[in-house]
Amino acid sequence: MIPRLAVASKNPDKVREIEEVLSSTGLASDIVRGLDWPDVEETGETLEENALLKGRAVTEATGLPALADDTGLEVDALGGRPGVRSSRFAGQEVSYAENVGLLLEKMAGVEDRTARFRTVVALVFPDGAEVTAEGIVEGSITAAPRGRNGFGYDPVFEVEGRTLAEMTLDEKSRLSHRARAIRALARAFGL
Ligand code: IMP
């Protein structure tokens, strides 16, 4: 078990989900909050590269083992886009609603609506050791947003009849890409 761990994200929506799942794995005994570090540019070409960039930067700045996550939404009818560029789909520094709006626009009238969320988590230690793991959830893109929970593309991503935004945090954590990636990471440590 890692005695003190930093969660390498400044996105409170993401941090809440990571902490919820982490606490059930036994991977860390103490998640250290209130830390700060310089913003990390996501210049990698893959989710794994970006997760490692974030994890390394936070470990370097805090001196603690750091857990980072990078996530992409892969839409089959769009050739796997927006993928690694999911946060910048509608442009730099745009809102969740703008990204969702562009996605629905591109999917208007499209029959094949299958898609998946993919998360890669990276755990980086101060001694340079690095472990990554991946989690995927398959679903489909709805015609219009539904639900008020979650964040990002959750209102337009449906799994088994409900969007992720129609699920409680606990329900999302049972099946989400992020939760699966964190549980896979814990398994890599024999947990
Ligand atoms: P990143 O991992 O912070 O680069 O996030 C990529 C993009 O996907 C951002 O626009 C997020 O809002 C969105 N995103 C990340 N995780 C989720 C999720 O669990 N549900 C819905 N959207 C997400």
What does the pLDDT look like over 157-185, one tens digit per residue?
Answer: 999 999 999 999 999 999 999 999 999 99
3-state secondary structure of 92: coil
User: Whose Cα sits closest to atom 16 in ligand 1?
Assistant: 71
pLDDT for 57-69, tens place per residue?
999 999 999 999 9
pLDDT for 83-132, tens place per residue?
999 999 999 999 999 999 999 999 999 999 999 999 999 999 999 999 99
CB of 99 closer than 6 angstroms to any ligand 1 atom: yes
In the DSSP assignment, the letter for residue 64 is S
User: Whose Cα sits closest to atom 12 in ligand 1?
Assistant: 152
Dump strand ranges (E) for 86-129: 114-124
CB of 59 closer than 6 angstroms to any ligand 1 atom: no
Domains annotated for the chain, with CATH where assigned, are 5-188 (3.90.950.10)
Q: Is 127 noted as a catalytic residue in this protein?
A: no
User: Whose Cα sits closest to atom 6 in ligand 1?
Assistant: 87
Please state the pTM of the whole predicted model.
0.97
- pLDDT at site 63: 97
Contact yes or no for 67/131 (Cβ under 8 A): no
Tokens, residue 38: 């310089």
Selecting among 39, 69, 70, 112, the annotated active-site residue is 70
CB of 116 closer than 6 angstroms to any ligand 1 atom: no
